Amino acid sequence: MLPLDVMLGEDCVLAPDVLWYADGRVPDAYSPPPYPLPDIAVEVRSPSTWSHDVGPKKAAYELAGLPELWLVDTPARSVMVFRRSRPDDPEFDLAAELRESDSVTSSLLPGFALAIAEVFRGL
């Protein structure tokens, strides 16, 4: 069922374009939405939502304690990655803008690497 609504706070529910839960945190398939905060959320740029994605939506994820956020900027062919260096950090304190020659990795996904060029293949 799409979209997958995620509860960020009492009055804040968002539907990330892609989300990932660590083992043991995946919501039950029969649980009604909204679902708990994922470990990684991915938002893909669309002309009507990008300013919201990089502004209020990023701030809401940060405030809710999301460990990692990836913002995919299709016109710029880049991926902005925001993370916390420690789980208890109140804000995203690590950021990277990855280009097509880079790969995205995450300490949350040991052994995972995605070439940014693959993200934009066929666009």
How far apart (Å, rounded) are the C-alpha atoms in residues 91 and 65? 8
What phi, psi does 24 have (nearest 5°)?
A: 85, -5
- 23-44 pLDDT per residue, tens: 999 988 888 889 999 999 999 9
pLDDT at 47: 80
Tens of pLDDT, residues 42-80: 999 888 888 888 889 999 999 999 999 999 999 999 999
Q: Distance between CA atoms of 83 and 7, rounded to whole angstroms?
A: 19
Average pLDDT of the segment spanning 83-102:
93
pLDDT at 100: 95
Residue that is written with structure tokens 């913002």 in the block? 71
Q: Hey, is 71 helix, strand or coil?
A: strand
Domain ranges of the chain: 6-119
Does the pLDDT at position 1 exceed 60? no
Q: Which two tokens stand for residue 82?
A: 């925001």
